[in-house]
Structure 1
Amino acid sequence: MAITPNIRSISPFYHLRSTFQSELKRLEMYVRECKADRVVMDPRVENTRAIHVYEKCGFRQVKLLPQRELHEGKRHDCWLMEIQYTG
């Protein structure tokens, strides 16, 4: 089953706070309630801080997506990251 909520980013309010991880955990609970088996995201490669937090929460880097995102006229590479849930 594919559920694709339109979540473009996590509010900047959480970026510098430990609540960032707790918001990811809340997202995880929501995903489990929807009976989804995974969450995928594609942060920019240069966003090492966010990637580190995602990995601490159980996400893993799956594939490099060259020139995935266009922002202000410039293309950026992104990582396809996922976390899978069982049972």
Structure 2
Amino acid sequence: MNESVEGSDIVQKGNDAGGNIEVYKTKEDAEKRNTYISAFDGTALNPGSHYVYGTVLIRTSHHLTGTQQKELTEKIYNKLIELK
């Protein structure tokens, strides 16, 4: 991703800066959010990829290629399930 993203910090730049993780109180809440975001797939408001793992919604930017989105999602997922 080489495009400039508007915003003065990572919070303002949001998902367009590469991705984010949203954490919800319940799995159902995470799934509801994912369903809501899915409504924008393939539109001008393309949310990028999104994957629910338990109460966590992993999102990646539509500015990344499909391969980059998948790789980033997998890296985040693997860190979430890593035991230390």
Task: Calculate the TM-score normalised by the size of structure 2.
Answer: 0.35
When you count helix as a share of all residues, which structure comes out higher?
A: 2
Task: Calculate the TM-score normalised by the size of structure 1.
Answer: 0.34
When you count strand as a share of all residues, which structure comes out higher?
A: 1
